[in-house]
Homo-oligomer: A and B are copies of this chain.
Amino acid sequence: MENITSNQNGRVKAWQKLQTKKGRQANQTYLLDGWHLVQEAIHHDGHLHAIMGTSAQLAEHQEELPLGVPVFEITTDIAKKLSDLVTPQGIFAEVSLPTAKREPQYVHQGAWLFLDGIQDPGNVGTMVRTADAAGFAGVVFGEGSVDPYSPKAVRAMQGSQFHLTITDGDLLKWTNTFRDNEINVYGTQLDPTAADLFSVQPQATFALVMGNEGQGMRPELAAATSQNLFIPLSGEAESLNVAVAAGIAMFALKQR
């Protein structure tokens, strides 16, 4: 075990670079912050490159640390540099970004969530977590959607990235390929002339598209779906938070 005490240490600087998308892309890794996430990576073979912890955290979890992964003891001060939280727990892991890119022509079953231009990292992370809880097979990030491996998105995912497939892709291509294979693709719109979400029979194999927080789905994607759905609103609110809307739609459409 290596002991790192200086903020200026080269490894610390390299880990800090993982807080930006550019740094994550260059290194093909990202950071997990906190024991719950580190533990998920250990249990799901998350390709760990390093585990970094304060002496207290390493002592507490010593028996659960995997063999063969380099462990670094860091100071509380360094822990704060690696985290965007005010009081981080003090244990981190550096793990590989997933490399396998899925292609829609090889998908024949399961429920899939398509994200078209979702901007908020918290929303994205919450939607991945909810997709996992609803038993979805995967989440496809279309162009213009925010990077799923930012610290805030990773925190909101709560480890669900290890339970389902996450890939990026061209959502028009995914939609057209699914429809060619007779898999329904449901868009979501605020338009009450779309079909009522709750009128659709729950299914095992389909895709659900959620659009950008302000603009909704791109028109060309909305035109390509099998059907567009709306959530009937009874009060005076004009819309729902996109992560809440996604949760309602996923649990309404997915066969239990």
Which A residues lie at the B interface, using CB under 8 A? 122, 126, 129-136, 156, 158-160, 163-164, 198, 231-241, 243-248, 251-252, 254, 256
Tell me the complex Cα distance, A232–B244, Å.
Answer: 17
Question: Are A133's CB and B247's CB within 8 A?
Answer: no
User: Which chain B positions have C-beta within 8 A of A238?
Assistant: 158
Contact of A198 among B156, B163, B256 (CB under 8 A): B256
Question: Are B198's CB and A241's CB within 8 A?
Answer: no
Tell me the complex Cα distance, A164–B233, Å.
Answer: 14
User: Which chain B positions have C-beta within 8 A of A247?
Assistant: 240-241, 244-245, 247-248
User: Which chain B positions have C-beta within 8 A of A246?
Assistant: 244
Question: Are A135's CB and B244's CB within 8 A?
Answer: no
Please, which residue of chain B has its CB at the minimum distance from the CB of A163?
B236
Min C-beta distance of A195 to chain B, whole Å: 14
Tell me the complex Cα distance, A163–B232, Å.
Answer: 17
Question: Are A235's CB and B164's CB within 8 A?
Answer: yes
Question: Are A136's CB and B235's CB within 8 A?
Answer: yes
20 A-B residue pairs with CB within 8 Å: A126-B241, A130-B237, A130-B241, A130-B244, A131-B235, A132-B235, A132-B236, A133-B231, A134-B233, A134-B235, A158-B239, A163-B237, A198-B256, A232-B256, A234-B256, A241-B243, A243-B243, A243-B244, A244-B244, A248-B248
Please, which residue of chain B has its CB at the minimum distance from the CB of A244?
B247
| 6 pairs of A and B residues whose beta carbons are closest in the complex | A135-B234, A244-B247, A133-B237, A132-B237, A163-B236, A132-B235
User: Which chain B positions have C-beta within 8 A of A163?
Assistant: 235-237
Tell me the complex Cα distance, A133–B240, Å.
Answer: 7
Please, which residue of chain B has its CB at the minimum distance from the CB of A135?
B234
Min C-beta distance of A108 to chain B, whole Å: 19
Min C-beta distance of A234 to chain B, whole Å: 3
User: Which chain B positions have C-beta within 8 A of A198?
Assistant: 256
Question: Are A133's CB and B256's CB within 8 A?
Answer: no
Contacts A134-B234, A232-B256, A247-B248 known; 11 new A-B pairs at CB < 8 A? A122-B122, A126-B241, A129-B241, A130-B237, A130-B244, A133-B233, A133-B235, A231-B251, A240-B247, A241-B243, A244-B246
